[in-house]
Amino acid sequence: MKSIRKFAYAAALTLSALNFAPSLASAQEAAGTFTLGHEVHWQNAVVPAGKYRFTIGSNGTAEMLTLRKLSGSETRFMLLVNNEEASGPSELSQLVVVSRSSGNFVSTMQLPEFGMTLHFAVPAETREVAQTVATTTASAAR
């Protein structure tokens, strides 16, 4: 009888520890908001203009960016970050948008408040097109 109680106690302790582990991991995710003034392509997704909340979290070996539209109809996007690098505190929070003949593509998301710059896939184009920088309002929400 005593061994059953010990086993039940150990099982309850293990389950409660596993239950808290995802909460601790998600508390370290970067989050904030920004506004897009016009529709952009973000890798394979077409993201319409509007106000968005973003979260950045690790999914094993890769970083994932999740967007949730706050204005209008609720829309969500999950995007794989191609490359992440450290950014300095003197940089501005901004999205770098590259113009291509097929549309405007987000190439970089600079988040100095989290010490990171995220890079996304942009289709190659044979002729050179000027790069446009779209500054957005990014706010840290930890």
Residue whose C-alpha is closest to residue 98's, from 76, 125, 77, 80: 125
Non-local (6+) Cβ contacts of 78 within 8 A are 64, 65, 66, 67
pLDDT of residue 47: 95
| Within-domain flag for 71 | yes
Boundaries of domain holding 66: 29-134
Mean pLDDT of the chain: 76
Give the pLDDT score at 15.
39
What domain count does the chain have? Answer: 1
C-alpha span between 46 and 78 (Å, rounded)? 12
**CB-CB contact of 63 with 36 (8 Å):** no
Banded pLDDT at 31 (limits 50, 70, 90): very high
Supply the pTM of this predicted model: 0.65
Domain assignment of residue 45, yes or no: yes
Evaluate whether residue 13 is within a structural domain.
Answer: no
Residue 16, domain member (yes or no): no
Pairwise CA distance, residues 127 & 62, whole Å: 31
71-130 pLDDT per residue, tens: 888 899 999 998 899 887 777 899 999 998 889 999 999 999 889 999 999 988 755 545
Q: How far is CA 107 from the centre of its chain?
A: 13
pLDDT-based confidence at residue 9 (cuts at 50, 70, 90): very low
